[in-house]
Structure 1
Amino acid sequence: MSDNERQKILLVDDTPANLKILGQCLRDRYEVSVATSGAQALHMIWDRQTPDLILLDIVMPEMDGYEVCRRLKENPLSRDIPIIFVTALSEAGEETKGLELGAVDYVTKPFSPSIIRARVKNHLDYKRAQGELQRQNHMLQAYARMREDMERISRHDLRTPLNVVINLPQMLLEDDELELDEETRGCLDTILRAGYRMLSMIDMSLDLVKMEQGTYDLKPIAVDLVGVVRKVVADLRTHAAANEVQLVTHWPGAPLAELFITGEELLCYSMTANLVKNAIEASPRGSAVTLSFLPDPTHCLSIHNLGVIPAAARPVFFEKYSTYGKEGGTGLGTYSARLIARTMKGDMGFETSDEKGTEIVIRLPRFVPAAGLVP
């Protein structure tokens, strides 16, 4: 290690013989400086480059080691410097006092050079590791801030062209002077609905961050889950057909006209759409994804497909960024779905096997008229 890279140690002792012995123990590995009083040590530390570690005698005239340690720990410039007390005192109370003031270690005179070197090395290695962890933590925080800024900018920049995607077909559809045939109107309506879905996705990305932080302001209303499922099935039917998968809705008894739960419609749609889309992509070709409304008051919907979740993926199925064997997968679909369910005071779980495939069961609070919510 070069002189510029060598770690710096300050020895503080009013006895020249002790300074000489300590210096001989450490100079071959470290850059060593000395101070013969507490006042001199403070002046050196605060007016020059701070050392990486201090070996500090306790019994010194005018200002003892305890007072030096106290002042160092009170000053932001020096509070993080590790201090090892070196003293002839051996009372347990003295050692406790030094540690309570912020010292990291305590060695007594007469001392062994090998022990001094080992203690110094251990504490310097620990400090260096702490510094590296702190540096990495600062980098991660900077990356997180940069990611949030980029996401915020992206959401803003996406809204500008999206205004055209939404407003232009809407203007054309509302223009009575245009004689649009049904096929053209259908195409414009498809563009319009796709634009609104994209706008909802942009808004949802910000909402998911708030859900993770526990700051999302839930505004629950009575939501017709049957209506939400119908929208999801209609919007994903083309995707299902491309994967040669059927979408089937199932009622345990007579078909329900409506099933009200307490939540937010956009959240319900996003949660259900994510799970159905995943089920479509996990299904064998020629099979079906079945959405079943459940009569159990604590459960409301299940989504079943014949695909099987790999054993390695099951413990982390709902974890963030967890994805197995899915090309282009982000690992956010099931994670965001469960996060949404929990935000709406519900939850979800799954069962999977080679014999039965995979079923995800969603639990959401049923609508209670007495709660003052109007369907």
Structure 2
Amino acid sequence: MTQPAAGAPLLLVVDDEPANVDVLCDLLQALDYRTVGAAGGEAALAIARERRPDLVLLDVMMPGLDGYEVCRRLRADPDTAGIPVVFVTALSGPDDRVKGIEAGGDDFLTKPFSRPVLVARIRSLLRLKEAQDRLADSYRRLRELEELKDDLTRMVVHDLKSPLSGILGSLEMVLDGDAGPLAPAQVRLLRDAQERGGDVLRMVDNLLDLSRLEESAVRLQPRELDVGRLLREVAGDWNVRAEREGARLAVEGPAGVGVRADEGMLRRVLANLIGNALRHGGPGVAVRVSAVRADDGVKVSVADNGRGVPEAEHEAIFRKYGRVQADGASSGLGLTFCKLAVEAHGGRIWVQSRPGEGAIFHFVLPPRPPEPAASPA
């Protein structure tokens, strides 16, 4: 008999009767498949882990581990979970087939079986496994490329932060009069450049912190905060810009609404939501920031009367580089950072909006953030 090619699919034949193993192996080798036999469940599991066959032909009624248990263990092991399993057994009742399906089997053949049917089912399952393997390999390469892209992005962004901080520092010195008096028009232009530079710096910080949040490498530094005071302070940082752009910014934060949270991170969340409303709300947008006590903590809302967000995009805008199809506007990284930062506090964030009716971004923080998990040594 001609030996199968070295790269031919490897099939594992499992049966406690050696004669049955030999018959199946001879048949499959004649069809140019490589084969390996196992006389019981334990031997089958050991061979499957060691040699990773492309398909398993498995008897059910065996001493020790029966075929159902062998299949369940194959499925439970990540290294063998994707191997197709065909039960080849004398059992033929409907309950036996149900047990085989529940155990994770891909097919069920009753002895004596039709050779053409067996061969057709083997070929079909091998084609399916080959397609799944290609898909898994493509996904693995895609993940590797994604990780490489993220690593390169972090390196570039980290290197950008230092010269950008220098530019902003120089602009501040010029605006403070260190280089001499400035005409009003010059002050306006430099103020605009300073604000745009601040936007870029926030984007840089968002990307760096987003990477750390995705890797759970950020440790919160929570303390007791007056939410109303925090809303007014963050909104105050945006008042001049809002007025210059013809927007209105109002705060409704009652005193005494407290929460235990990381102040720096919470300020960033509020700044991102307010900035997002001013940028995407359209000319003359009105933005209202509010906070109320809720059953599960404190609820903060940032509402605008701008263009709104299509309902189909309500989840996409919180994804990294999410894009609103209606107007092509990208949410960039700000909303992704907000989502991860709020969730790091044990809270949740969502949007209520329809096109042309404005948008309200809500997030709820519990009274206290969850305790951080112990860091591995």
Common fold by TM > 0.5: yes
SS in structure 2 of the partner of residue 120 of structure 1: helix
SS in structure 1 of the partner of residue 359 of structure 2: strand
TM-score normalised per structure 2: 0.65
Q: Is the 8 A contact 2:58 2:88 kept in 1?
A: yes
SS in structure 2 of the partner of residue 293 of structure 1: strand
| Displacement after TM superposition at 1:165 (Å) | 0.9
Structure 2, unaligned runs of 5 or more: 75-82, 90-110, 369-377
Q: Is the 8 A contact 2:40 2:62 kept in 1?
A: no
Is structure 2 residue 209 aligned with structure 1 residue 210?
Answer: no
Match of 2:360 in 1: 359
Once residues 15 and 301 of structure 1 are traced to their aligned partners in structure 2, the CA distance between those partners, rounded to angstroms, is 70
1:4 and 1:220, CA in 2 relative to 1: closer, same or farther beyond 3 A? same
Once residues 66 and 123 of structure 1 are traced to their aligned partners in structure 2, the CA distance between those partners, rounded to angstroms, is 22
SS in structure 2 of the partner of residue 234 of structure 1: helix
Aligned positions of 1:17-166 closer than 5 A: 18=23, 22=27, 27=31, 31-32=32-33, 51=34, 54=35, 56=37, 64=39, 69-75=44-50, 78-85=51-58, 95-96=67-68, 99=71, 102=74, 104-108=85-89, 110-166=112-168
Q: Is the 8 A contact 1:10 1:55 kept in 2?
A: yes
Q: Is the 8 A contact 1:283 1:307 kept in 2?
A: yes
SS in structure 2 of the partner of residue 224 of structure 1: helix
1:278 and 1:101, CA in 2 relative to 1: closer, same or farther beyond 3 A? closer
Once residues 16 and 317 of structure 1 are traced to their aligned partners in structure 2, the CA distance between those partners, rounded to angstroms, is 57
Once residues 181 and 113 of structure 2 are traced to their aligned partners in structure 1, the CA distance between those partners, rounded to angstroms, is 97
Once residues 366 and 62 of structure 2 are traced to their aligned partners in structure 1, the CA distance between those partners, rounded to angstroms, is 66
Once residues 197 and 314 of structure 2 are traced to their aligned partners in structure 1, the CA distance between those partners, rounded to angstroms, is 35
Amino acid at match of 1:115: V
Once residues 72 and 20 of structure 1 are traced to their aligned partners in structure 2, the CA distance between those partners, rounded to angstroms, is 15
Q: Is the 8 A contact 2:57 2:87 kept in 1?
A: yes
Aligned partner of 1:270 among 268, 271, 283: 268
SS in structure 2 of the partner of residue 146 of structure 1: helix
Q: Is the 8 A contact 2:318 2:335 kept in 1?
A: yes
Q: Is the 8 A contact 1:293 1:300 kept in 2?
A: yes
Is structure 2 residue 287 aligned with structure 1 residue 279?
Answer: no
Match of 1:371 in 2: none
Structure 1, unaligned runs of 5 or more: 33-50, 59-63, 368-375
1:84 and 1:156, CA in 2 relative to 1: closer, same or farther beyond 3 A? same
SS in structure 2 of the partner of residue 324 of structure 1: coil
Greater Cα offset, 115-124 or 355-364: 355-364
Once residues 16 and 210 of structure 1 are traced to their aligned partners in structure 2, the CA distance between those partners, rounded to angstroms, is 54
TM-score normalised per structure 1: 0.65
| Displacement after TM superposition at 1:209 (Å) | 2.5
1:194 and 1:219, CA in 2 relative to 1: closer, same or farther beyond 3 A? farther
Corresponding pairs, count? 322
| Displacement after TM superposition at 1:139 (Å) | 0.9
Query: What fraction of aligned residue pairs are identical, expressed as a percent?
Result: 20
| Displacement after TM superposition at 1:205 (Å) | 1.0
| Displacement after TM superposition at 1:228 (Å) | 0.6
Amino acid at match of 2:341: I
Match of 2:249 in 1: 248
SS in structure 1 of the partner of residue 330 of structure 2: coil
Aligned positions of 1:173-252 closer than 5 A: 178-181=179-182, 183=184, 191=193, 194-195=196-197, 197-221=199-223, 222=225, 224-238=230-244, 241=245, 245-251=246-252
1:6 and 1:266, CA in 2 relative to 1: closer, same or farther beyond 3 A? same
Q: Is the 8 A contact 2:248 2:286 kept in 1?
A: yes
Larger Rg: 1
Match of 2:96 in 1: none
| Displacement after TM superposition at 1:229 (Å) | 0.9
| Displacement after TM superposition at 1:111 (Å) | 3.5
Give a deviation string over 1:138-170, Cα, whole Å, max 9, x none: 112211221121112211331343244134345
Once residues 94 and 150 of structure 1 are traced to their aligned partners in structure 2, the CA distance between those partners, rounded to angstroms, is 51
Amino acid at match of 1:154: V
Greater Cα offset, 10-19 or 130-139: 10-19
Q: Is the 8 A contact 2:352 2:359 kept in 1?
A: yes
1:171 and 1:17, CA in 2 relative to 1: closer, same or farther beyond 3 A? closer
Q: Is the 8 A contact 2:154 2:207 kept in 1?
A: no
Match of 2:371 in 1: none
Match of 1:309 in 2: 309
SS in structure 2 of the partner of residue 216 of structure 1: coil
Q: Is the 8 A contact 2:350 2:362 kept in 1?
A: yes
